[in-house]
């Protein structure tokens, strides 16, 4: 058995999971998510948890086993508590603010950078330089946070740029004066 695939998925109170026509539907207090799945994977619900199984022992089926178990777990977590990524903007004059469905940032370029916020994602910007991206879909939250970080990646000399809150930047010494 797959190490990840054999772990049952815990379903908290208030979350409904439905499997039909090769489609997983998870509905909870924060919203609803759907995901197609391959027919070689089976789902069995009992006692507030879901056990993911597989039809055969082929290599691709084993890979699907762990994949769909993790996707289901992320969906259940998303509709019950949600996902959050925090970005930190560092640099003189670097700042961000939310204007409706736009994230407006000053990142040291000659003009401001405008980023459209996709549906299903909530973005908040603090004056201290923290930008919080949250939503129920882990993939969409991570993808949007990565796109924002890519606009001005942190540089190793002064540490200016956009980084994740838990990210460590390796700093370099730089030039030393020659006499």
DSSP 74: H
Segment holding 68, helix H or strand E? helix 59-80
Phi/psi at 132 (nearest 5 deg)?
A: -110, 125
Which DSSP string do the residues of 108-168 spell out, in sequence order?
SSSS-EEEEPPTTEEEEE-TTSEEEEEES-HHHHHHHHHHHHHTTPPPTTT--EEEETTPP
Specify the length of the chain in residues.
179
**Annotated domain spans of the chain:** 9-80, 83-164
Q: pLDDT tens across 60-111, in order?
A: 999 999 999 999 999 999 999 999 999 999 999 999 999 999 999 999 999 9
Residue 179 has pLDDT above 70, yes or no: no
CATH topology of domain 9-80: Outer Surface Protein A; domain 3 (3.90.930)
Fold classification of 83-164 (topology level):
Outer Surface Protein A; domain 3 (3.90.930)
- Residue 177 has a pLDDT of 63
Average pLDDT, the chain: 93
What average pLDDT score do residues 2-18 get? Answer: 91
pLDDT tier for residue 176 given thresholds of 50, 70 and 90: confident
Task: Categorize the per-residue pLDDT at 3 as very low, low, confident or very high, splitting at 50, 70 and 90.
Answer: confident
Name residues whose C-beta falls within 8 Å of residue 149's C-beta, 6 or more positions apart in sequence: 87, 162, 163, 164
């Amino acid at each position: 058995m797959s190490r990840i695939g054999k772990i049952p998925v815990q379903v908290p109170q208030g979350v409904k999971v439905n499997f039909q026509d090769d489609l997983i539907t998870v509905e909870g207090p924060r919203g609803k998510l759907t995901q197609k799945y391959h027919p070689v994977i089976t789902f069995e619900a009992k006692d507030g948890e879901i056990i993911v199984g597989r039809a055969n022992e082929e290599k691709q089926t084993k890979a699907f086993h762990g994949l769909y178990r993790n996707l289901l777990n992320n969906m259940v977590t998303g509709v019950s508590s949600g996902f959050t990524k925090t970005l930190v903007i560092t640099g003189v004059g670097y700042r961000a603010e939310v204007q409706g469905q736009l994230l407006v940032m000053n990142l040291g370029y000659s003009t401001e950078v405008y980023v459209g916020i996709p549906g299903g994602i909530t973005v908040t910007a603090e004056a201290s330089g923290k930008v919080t991206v949250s939503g129920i879909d882990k993939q969409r939250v991570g993808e949007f946070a990565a796109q924002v970080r890519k606009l001005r990646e942190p540089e190793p000399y002064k540490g200016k740029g956009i980084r994740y809150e838990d990210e460590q930047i390796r700093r370099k010494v730089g030039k030393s004066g020659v006499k």
